[in-house]
Amino acid sequence: MDCSKFQAVSIRDAPSVRSPLASDMTSAAEFWRDPRLPWVESRRACNSRACYRPHSHPTWSIGAVDAGESIFSGAPGGQHRLQPGTLVIVPAHRVHACNPAPDTAWSYQMLHLDAAWVQAVSADRQPPDADAATAALIRIDRSAARYRMFCHINALLFSSADPGEKEAAVVAFIDELDVAAGLPIPARHASPQQHRRLQPALALLDAAPMSSVSLDDLASCTGMDRYAVIRAFRTVTGLTPHAWQLNRRINVARERLGQGQPLAEVAHALGFADQSHFQRLFKAHAGITPGRYRR
């Protein structure tokens, strides 16, 4: 990605609406969304110092490091340093964070792809003996060819090209993307029994994304004590119950803001009585304020 093409920090709500985000001309960031292609969202940023909390998405996330050094965390084994030209492939619901090295800035691109759409596109290309556990691992891919293809795809999305051409290009990229290639990042080890015991709690939280469910309620519905629930959440999801709930609400907020719903309405619906608190949390998870993301 050529950062010299950025004239200001901006956001793009497809096909060609741009809004300034800040007066600092040394950094730039923009989003691309198009209601005609609702299964894909893209972001690109230059000279960014924004940092993210550990979080997860309901989408597949594919990121590319363009300049600077990034610190990737998303596994029990520790952090990974990523150099320019590296892709990171993060399946849906895997907790991760990717931030600039201390006291530095970095440039990057990120695609978010609807998980059901990716599965549908890839279904007829999966071998009969495909290992679902392997496909669900985070991958660090240093293939120069795939990095160049990713950059081409993202530049096309931000262009005025026809939506059909953009869709075909993303499908072609998914076809070329080898989810078994690159360095696999081990997932947290959780036994089937731990998953089963936590399911009532996850179902309760999914049914009430607008409410804060207490630790006592989660303990009651799982038959575990409070501390066992915290340990189980960390083992199965990578987050504490409180962090999981905040992450879930921010993902719902992204979806609603992307549909154009008013900021105050979204904050209130998701149980944030203090709008400034909502803005701080949203920025910590998404790297941008909710108002700017909506625009």
Residues ≥6 apart with Cβ < 8 Å to 70 = 81, 82, 86, 98, 99, 100, 101, 106, 108
Backbone dihedral angles phi then psi of residue 213, each to the nearest 5 degrees: -90, 130
- The CA distance from 262 to 258, in Å, is 10
Identify the pLDDT of residue 276. Answer: 85
Domain that holds residue 240: 192-294
Identify the pLDDT of residue 126. Answer: 62
Same domain, 36 and 134: yes
Identify the pLDDT of residue 251. Answer: 92
Number of domains in the chain: 2
Kindly report, residue by residue over 146-174, the tens digit of the pLDDT: 999 999 999 999 999 999 999 999 999 98
127, 152, 185 - which closes a domain: 185
134, 160, 185 - which closes a domain: 185
Identify the pLDDT of residue 25. Answer: 39
Same domain, 147 and 227: no
Kindly report, residue by residue over 44-100, the tens digit of the pLDDT: 999 999 888 899 999 999 999 999 999 998 766 678 999 999 999 999 988 999 999
Same domain, 11 and 136: yes
Backbone dihedral angles phi then psi of residue 230, each to the nearest 5 degrees: -60, -45
Identify the pLDDT of residue 18. Answer: 34
Using an 8 Å Cβ cutoff, are 3 and 23 in contact? Answer: no
Same domain, 31 and 105: yes
The answer on pLDDT for 26 being more than 60 is: no
Same domain, 153 and 197: no
Peptide linkage before 15 cis (omega within 30 of 0) = yes
**What would the 3-class secondary structure string for 46-100 be?**
EEECCCCCCECCCEEEEEEEEECCEEEECCCCCEEEECCCCEEEECCCCCEEEEE
- The CA distance from 108 to 5, in Å, is 14
CATH number at residue 14: 2.60.120.280
Kindly report, residue by residue over 37-48, the tens digit of the pLDDT: 999 999 999 999
Higher-pLDDT residue of 148 and 122 is: 148
Nearest CA to 90 out of 39, 49, 51, 54 is that of 54
Higher-pLDDT residue of 213 and 177 is: 213
Same domain, 202 and 181: no
Instruction: Decide the pairing of beta strands 138-141 and 183-185.
Output: antiparallel
- The CA distance from 126 to 174, in Å, is 12
> Number of C-alpha atoms within 13 angstroms, CB side, residue 173?
25
Backbone dihedral angles phi then psi of residue 158, each to the nearest 5 degrees: -80, -5
Same domain, 135 and 224: no
Same domain, 87 and 212: no
Same domain, 150 and 38: yes
158, 185, 212 - which closes a domain: 185
CATH number at residue 282: 1.10.10.60
Backbone dihedral angles phi then psi of residue 214, each to the nearest 5 degrees: -75, 160
Same domain, 20 and 97: yes
The answer on pLDDT for 204 being more than 60 is: yes
Same domain, 201 and 115: no
Average pLDDT estimate for 245-252: 90
Higher-pLDDT residue of 24 and 226 is: 226
* Residue length of the chain: 295
Identify the pLDDT of residue 134. Answer: 53
Same domain, 25 and 146: yes
Higher-pLDDT residue of 180 and 156 is: 156
